[in-house]
């Protein structure tokens, strides 16, 4: 698999007679594991010898729960798989990974909620790897390289982040960690590990016929059939890791540097909960209008992203902490970072509370569904009122939730290159004047969005 990392955890033996462990499998130098949201892909490249007018049988030790038909060839090869047969199998329920921030710096500063108790009716039995034998034939005698792999749900992971600022609140240091839980029954030593923050899709879509045909992995575009306007998840290399049985914690930002931070007000009346990822827009006339949008404006901190260090970081929760003069930490707010909806954003925002004296109102002025021209036109006006004695800057975050084929036909405020924060999210900024006498200051944004479909 080129361009996208492949993962396999195998112990393999070669020989034309009795299968035995191959020396090439002991060091794990060719072992790779790619972590997707729905499962992991494990792969290993091995050397084998095809004798004259014969075949070679290799024995592969794979994760518990993986069957013979689940093993496939990762790269196209001159070799053919003549037969695949199971030697043994064992099942064990996958286990959710531990909190990546628990009991270790930089996240040990946080008080973690205890994990939920295990299901008493489903006790976990020790995981026993499955062994399968592959009978390999080649076009001629000689030495060959074969990369085999399988998919497993027994390698799971989770991420968490912290941002730490000072009393000045003008910068923050982002730290993060990923916790990987290996419940395969195999110790994956010296594995090259990658993480891709996307689903890879059903494993059955990547398993070819196993008898009399060459096993060929389906193309590496299994990252997911994301819509064209959604930025693809970028693989993030985690380095060489020993994925032992149980939990392994890896720092995601070991060389973190301070990032600029500033206070802003944010009006996000809808959020990403209504986002529809399809190319054909949702026609429901009540969408985004009923129930009425929130009027809450939040006090938030906006933290600049490091475009180089942030590439490929998986989404996860973040806690914003303030380190006080006595060294203690105070929790300011919580949010999420690096979700697909904000993959192209240049800043992250963490809400710390409701903005006193500032409110928002979102009204739809028009909805036109034009089937002849295959388009939906919506017009909105957003009003911000300020009863404070000073002007305020407000970031208005709008989500074009009906579908991904949208265009802004008009907006009453200029949009900079950083305005688009995701495939369906735009940030509009405006200054709201202070109150005058007994009348609140007021500013409005009007925009028209057009959705189309094929």
What is the distance between the alpha carbons of residues 140 and 49, in angstroms, rounded to a whole number? Answer: 10
Predicted pLDDT of residue 134? 81
Predicted pLDDT of residue 399? 94
* 79 and 151 part of one domain: yes
Highest mean predicted confidence (pLDDT) among 10-19, 42-51, 231-240, 332-341? 332-341
Which structure tokens are listed for 235? Answer: 């693989």
**Average pLDDT for 98-108:** 52
For residue 329, tell me if it sits in a domain. Answer: no
- Tell me whether strands 31-35 and 188-195 are parallel, antiparallel or unpaired: parallel
pLDDT in tens, 143-193: 888 888 899 999 999 999 999 999 999 999 999 999 999 999 999 999 999
**Average pLDDT for 353-369:** 97
pLDDT in tens, 296-333: 999 999 999 998 899 999 999 999 999 998 989 999 99
pLDDT in tens, 366-378: 999 999 999 999 9
| Higher pLDDT pick, 417 / 410 | 410
Q: Specify the 3-state DSSP secondary structure of 222.
A: helix
pLDDT over 90 percentage in the chain: 54
* 268 and 300 part of one domain: yes
* 278 and 189 part of one domain: no
As for how many domains the chain has, the answer is: 2
Predicted pLDDT of residue 100? 59
220, 251, 282: which is the final residue of a domain? Answer: 251
182, 216, 251: which is the final residue of a domain? Answer: 251
pLDDT in tens, 265-280: 999 999 989 999 888 9
* 263 and 139 part of one domain: no
* 171 and 297 part of one domain: no
pLDDT over 70 percentage in the chain: 78
Predicted pLDDT of residue 102? 52
CATH at 434: 2.60.40.290
* 144 and 230 part of one domain: yes
* 41 and 167 part of one domain: yes
* 355 and 404 part of one domain: yes
Of 1-5, 131-135, 257-261, 310-314, the least confident: 1-5
Is residue 94 predicted with pLDDT exceeding 70? no
For residue 1, tell me if it sits in a domain. Answer: no
For residue 313, tell me if it sits in a domain. Answer: no
For residue 332, tell me if it sits in a domain. Answer: no
CA distances from residue 398 to 109, 269, 314, 365, 401 in whole angstroms, order as listed: 34, 8, 23, 15, 9
> pTM, whole model, 2 decimals?
0.74
**Average pLDDT for 425-454:** 94
- What value does the mean pLDDT of the chain take? 80
Q: Which domain holds residue 406?
A: 258-305+345-452
Predicted pLDDT of residue 15? 37
* 221 and 290 part of one domain: no
């Amino acid at each position: 698999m080129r361009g996208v990392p492949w993962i396999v955890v195998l112990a393999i033996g070669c020989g034309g007679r009795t299968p035995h462990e191959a020396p090439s499998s002991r060091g794990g130098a060719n072992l790779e594991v790619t972590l997707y949201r729905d499962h992991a892909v494990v792969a290993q490249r091995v050397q084998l010898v095809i004798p004259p007018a014969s075949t070679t049988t290799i024995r592969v030790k794979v994760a518990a729960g993986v069957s013979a038909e689940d093993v496939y060839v990762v790269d196209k090869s001159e070799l053919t798989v003549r037969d695949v047969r199971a030697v043994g199998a064992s099942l064990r329920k996958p286990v959710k990974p531990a909190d990546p921030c628990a009991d270790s710096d930089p996240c040990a500063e946080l008080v973690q909620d205890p994990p939920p108790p295990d299901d008493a009716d489903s006790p976990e039995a020790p995981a026993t790897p499955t062994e399968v034998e592959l009978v390999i034939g080649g076009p001629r005698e000689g030495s060959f390289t074969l990369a085999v792999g399988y998919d497993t749900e027994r390698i799971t992971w989770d991420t968490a982040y912290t941002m730490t600022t000072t009393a000045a609140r003008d910068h923050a240091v982002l730290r993060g960690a990923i916790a990987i839980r290996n419940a395969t029954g195999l110790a994956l030593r010296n594995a090259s590990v990658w993480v891709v923050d996307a689903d890879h899709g059903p494993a059955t879509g990547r398993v070819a016929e196993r008898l009399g045909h060459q096993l060929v992995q389906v193309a590496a575009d299994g990252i997911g059939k994301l819509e064209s306007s959604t930025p693809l998840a970028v693989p993030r290399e985690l380095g060489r890791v020993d994925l032992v049985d149980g939990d392994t914690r890896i720092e995601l930002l070991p060389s973190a540097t301070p990032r600029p931070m500033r206070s802003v007000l944010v009006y996000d009346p809808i959020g990403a909960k209504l986002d529809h990822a399809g190319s054909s827009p949702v026609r429901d006339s009540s969408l985004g209008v009923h129930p009425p949008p929130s009027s809450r404006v939040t006090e938030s901190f906006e933290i600049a992203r490091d475009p180089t260090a942030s590439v490929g970081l998986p989404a996860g929760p973040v806690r914003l902490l303030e380190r006080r003069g006595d060294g203690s930490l105070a929790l300011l707010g919580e949010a999420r970072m690096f979700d697909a909806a904000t993959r192209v954003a240049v800043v992250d925002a963490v809400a710390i509370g409701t903005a006193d004296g500032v409110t928002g109102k979102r009204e739809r002025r028009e909805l036109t569904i034009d089937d002849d021209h295959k388009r939906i036109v919506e017009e909105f006006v957003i009003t911000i009122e300020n009863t404070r004695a000073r002007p305020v800057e407000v970031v208005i975050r709008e989500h074009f939730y009906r579908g991904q084929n949208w265009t802004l036909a008009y907006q009453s405020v200029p949009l900079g290159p950083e305005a688009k924060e995701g495939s369906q999210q735009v940030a509009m900024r405006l200054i709201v004047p202070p109150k005058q006498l007994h009348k609140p200051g007021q500013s409005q944004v009007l925009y028209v969005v057009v959705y189309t479909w094929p």
